[in-house]
Amino acid sequence: MNTKNERKISRRDFLKVGALATACMITGVTRIESSVPTADTVLLNGTIITVNRSGSISQALAVRHGTILEVGTKEAILPYVGTATKVIDLKGRAVTPGLIDSHAHLPQFGSRERNWVKLQGLDSKEEILERLAERARKVPPGIFINAWGIESNDLFFMNRLDLDRITTAHPLLVVHTTGQWGFANSYALKSSGIERSTPNPAGGRVQKAPNGEPTGLLIHYPALYLVRKSFVHGREEEFRKNIFHAAELYAQEGVTTVHDNFFDIGEVGGARHAGVYLEQAISGSLPVQVKIWPYIPSIREASFAVRELFRSQNPRPDSPFAEVIKYKHEKPEGFARIWGGMKIAIDGSGPTGLWYRGERGITLHSTEDLYSMVKLFHEAGQQVSVHAAGDKAVDTMLDAFEQALKAQPREDVRHRIEHAICPQTASLESIKRLGVIISTHPQFLYSWADKWTGLRGQR
């Protein structure tokens, strides 16, 4: 029996079949004459957890063209069986509705799993440096080494000199587990043009020593991009493989839909990568469905995006949104299926988040620009997703959403806040009143739960 094919069936039908044993095919099921349509796949003798309002449990279900025809008893489902129907005996195993990951980054996740040095679980700086040294010994000089997973909440945990001890022959970037800051060695800094005179990018910080030299600490996406865009470009086929690999890993765990809240258009990958991703998502070649949310880094980009994507009848041919516009007009149904909305960010996380107490972090936008970005997207009819981890960041976003809704009321807008780690009690009341959706992203809790008290206080 082909276990791999069985797994593909479960993905396509948006179900997760328990993996305690290999599903076996029932043979000898005769066709019961019926006027009901013939199913592509039928699951029998299982525990079908419907997650409906009554919490009912059934024994079988039938699927046709990716849609569940009926859930019920074995007797109720057998009429859907035809000569070409795949019938799977679950032998009591559980089936749940497909899981939805509301906050993910497929290209980055796929690249991380395929290529990056993983540092999670390593507590000391020396352990981390040794892990990095292992990789440096294995790859040719000049190859970019990207590492991820530092869990220390100390922004000065290491610096470029620590990383220079590991290698001066490779550009090296080490990123915190939250993705909100990282450290680069001298090779990476120099190759990226980061020096004494380099200004802080809007919403980011290139940390400098008292003598003006960069220390290697890069805070927030705009600063990290200064290095990443120097090394992560082109290589469309690698980008395609990263996305597919990530989608496969999700599908194997029963995830059937992924919201990618960091669809990069211009900062690192550019329009070519955007086209690759859109083609994969719309064509159905991925084993999961994808909702994409373009990340917009500035008010300038926000104004341009709204004009090019939603207002202009003649978008610029050299627009960084050219691929998005192309698919929007050439494949409108597929585009509508995968489009999520617009993504922006206001803070980082942990010590780079915006909190009412302790370290306030760095805001990525002025309050005026932030309100303007939300207003632009809201008036363009878009759902807005905002990274806001700290309690002060959450309140700032709630104010921005409320202003936009007052200026242009809309029903069931469902604007989103990503993370919202420890909101105030009054904030929770505003969230409910405004109909804001909170996407908690549990990884932040997993990675940081023991550190929140120092930033937010005991609850």
pLDDT of the residue at 143: 96
CATH 3.20.20.140 fits 236-456, yes or no: yes
Tokens of 164: 């220079």
pLDDT for res 2: 41
CATH 3.20.20.140 in the chain is located at 236-456
Which amino acid does the sequence have at 26? I
Task: Outline which parts of the chain fall under CATH 3.10.310.70.
Answer: 106-231
pLDDT for 319: 77
Q: Assess whether pLDDT exceeds 60 at residue 30.
A: no
Higher pLDDT, 404 or 308: 404
Tell me which residue of 239, 231, 236 sits closest to 107, measured CA to CA.
239
Cβ atoms within 10 A of the Cβ of 329, count? 10
Give the mean model confidence (pLDDT) for residues 15-33.
37
pLDDT tens column, 360-397: 678 899 999 999 999 999 999 999 999 999 999 999 99
Reduced to 3 states, what is the DSSP secondary structure of residue 162?
helix
Q: Give the single-character DSSP code of 311.
A: I
Per-residue pLDDT averaged across 319-325, rounded?
A: 83
Buried b / exposed e along 189-226 (16+ C-beta atoms within 10 A): bebbebeeeeeebebbbbbeeeeeebbbbbbbbbbbbb
Nearest CA among 333, 257, 264, 272 for reference residue 293? 264
DSSP track, 197-266: TPPPPTT-EEEE-TTS-EEEEEESHHHHHHHHHHHS-S-HHHHHHHHHHHHHHHHHTTEEEEEEEEE-SS
Confidence of residue 264 (pLDDT cuts 50, 70, 90): confident
Whether the per-residue pLDDT at 241 is higher than 80: the answer is: yes
CATH numeric code, 106-231 = 3.10.310.70
The Cβ of residue 44 has, within 10 Å, a number of other Cβ atoms equal to: 21
| pLDDT of 135 over the 90 cut | yes
What does the alpha-carbon distance between residue 340 and residue 296 come to, in Å, rounded to a whole number? Answer: 13
CATH 2.30.40.10 residue spans of the chain: 3-97
**Class of CATH domain 3-97:** mainly beta
